[in-house]
Structure 1
Amino acid sequence: MPTTLELLWGSADRPRRGPKPSLTLERIVTEAIDLADTDGLGNLSMARLAERLGCAKMALYRYVPGKAELTALMLDAALGVPPDNDVAPTVAEPWRAYLRPWAETFFERVRVHPWANEVALGIRPMGPNELAWLDSAVAALAGTGLTAAECFDTIALLLGHARGIAQQTASIPGQEDFESGIARELGQVMAAQAARFPHAVGAFAETLGGSAEETGRDNALGFGIDRILDGLAMYMSTRKR
């Protein structure tokens, strides 16, 4: 049976022996992603996937050895390719001009696939798409004076921030205003406990006192990205001095 690396990087789409298959690896992965998106990763099983595909459970094992290999393929497919770096080199801080949309795009990918955060934990093989995300970010930081280790740490900070916000908001699909949603859920409690928790209640009241554009609420993703990049720019300036 093929290993996870062979499945991620290989070109074989069908078993070498046996009758002509009615399935493809791409179709299996696509259906598995849809199932995990709908019912959660914990409810994804080879038996349920086979039922969804209209085939016998054993037929799936001719393509993937098990769920671990399947989820690795799912993650790489769900991430897709990173955005193109079409920032002109004459732009001030071209690395920043690329890394902000890079992080925002990554956030959107993992937000619509909440299970991706769970699959991405630990030491594991990387597929071509995931490695392309890493490569594009390192390329954007080339020439900034950062060491290779500092480039990887910068990427880890951006990915960690994007994953954290995606995980926090994934439980409320379609909810455009996260902070006001929390305030509504806690409305009665906050009204009754205003004297006990004056700072939190006052902050919620201030953020709900106008539109999101006016108060700056629900901007945790962009605010965090900008502060990470601001700190990086300052660090680069000290390096140059």
Structure 2
Amino acid sequence: MTKEQWGAAVRLLWGPPVTPARGPRRGLTLAGIAGAGVQIADAEGLGAVSMQRVAGELGVTKMALYRYVPGKAELVSLMAEAAMPDPAAGLDAALAGAGGGWRPRLGVWARELLAGFRAHPWLLEATVGARVMGPREVGWLERAVAALEGCGLGGAEQMDVAALIAGHVRGIAEQERATGGGAGGPEAEFGAVLGEVMRTHGADYPALGAALASVAAHGGQDQALDFGLERILDGIGLLVARRAEQGDPLK
């Protein structure tokens, strides 16, 4: 986004409702425009979204749409805000059910975030890079940081924890998207493909062969989200304990 696009996105996401001073309104609203874009992206991917396509879905001209939204970059920002689950609607209840403590709360936060990416896989493309975040997305970040209050971590560390967990969740969601969300998950699909290779070349990779044999005998596949999340939380726990020992929390 350019600086001009940032300003336009801020006004659209955070400012008062847009009301064109002239031209046919035809009942257009930012929510309706974003909703039309979300429907297209859900069905065909983010690449299928264009100002012309959204205008056609709404039964207006592209020029009429431009009176509300300056361009596609701002449109995608509106779509991402509309598609992100409202944290006040479901996330807060899930966090309350997790009880006290930063660890269970961050675990719930991660799983709820993955559910949002699963519902709208194109969000993975729409929520990267330097951009303007809307109230819902900022609300998600607020919940993650709030879960760490009182842990003795500095502000930068709290933000980094949220980014670290979100990155892990995004990686899992990307793998699921790439494999089409097939039965058994991406790990099972990867294991099946790798197993075919190992049948003929397994002697060259004995450690990997032993690991795959263990999986076949004892299970444990499709646990990448939980395994990685628990290890991340373990590491955060060590940092929290270190800060407590130091007795001088960073601010």
Category of TM-score, reference length = shorter chain: 0.7 to 0.9
- Unmatched 5+ stretches in structure 2: 246-251
- The aligned counterpart of 1:196 is 204
Q: How many pairs does the alignment contain?
A: 234
- The aligned counterpart of 1:119 is 126
- Unmatched 5+ stretches in structure 1: none
Structure 2 residue identity aligned to 1:86:
A
Which aligned runs of 4 or more in structure 1 are off by greater than 4 angstroms?
none
User: Any idea what the Cα deviations from partners look like across 1:85-104, whole Å, max 9, x if unmatched?
Assistant: 32587x4xx11121111011
User: Any idea what the Cα deviations from partners look like across 1:200-239, whole Å, max 9, x if unmatched?
Assistant: 34433432335xxxx2211111111111111111111122
Amino-acid identity (%): 44
Deviates more, 1:197-206 or 1:114-123: 197-206
- The aligned counterpart of 2:225 is 221
- The aligned counterpart of 1:139 is 146
Deviates more, 1:164-173 or 1:18-27: 18-27
- The aligned counterpart of 2:248 is none
- The aligned counterpart of 1:182 is 190
Q: 1:239 aligns with which of 238, 243, 247?
A: 243
Cα distance, 1:6 vs structure 2: 0.7
User: Any idea what the Cα deviations from partners look like across 1:81-129, whole Å, max 9, x if unmatched?
Assistant: 231132587x4xx111211110111112123322222222222111100
Cα distance, 1:198 vs structure 2: 3.2
- The aligned counterpart of 1:62 is 67
- The aligned counterpart of 1:31 is 36
CA distance in 2, matches of 1:209, 1:111: 30
- The aligned counterpart of 2:169 is 162
| 1:56–1:208 distance in 2 versus 1, CA, 3 Å | farther
CA distance in 1, matches of 2:115, 2:209: 30
- The aligned counterpart of 2:15 is 10
CA distance in 2, matches of 1:12, 1:205: 59
| 1:58–1:205 distance in 2 versus 1, CA, 3 Å | farther
Matched, 1:102 2:112: no
Deviates more, 1:107-116 or 1:226-235: 107-116
CA distance in 2, matches of 1:70, 1:103: 27
2:235 alignment partner, SS class: helix
User: Any idea what the Cα deviations from partners look like across 1:6-39, whole Å, max 9, x if unmatched?
Assistant: 1001231542333342322212211211212222
| 1:20–1:76 distance in 2 versus 1, CA, 3 Å | closer
- The aligned counterpart of 2:50 is 45
Q: TM-score, normalised by structure 1?
A: 0.87
Structure 2 residue identity aligned to 1:9:
W
CA distance in 2, matches of 1:227, 1:88: 19
CA distance in 1, matches of 2:178, 2:42: 12
Q: Output the aligned Cα RMSD.
A: 2.2
Cα distance, 1:169 vs structure 2: 0.9
Q: TM-score, normalised by structure 2?
A: 0.84
The structure richer in helix per residue is 2
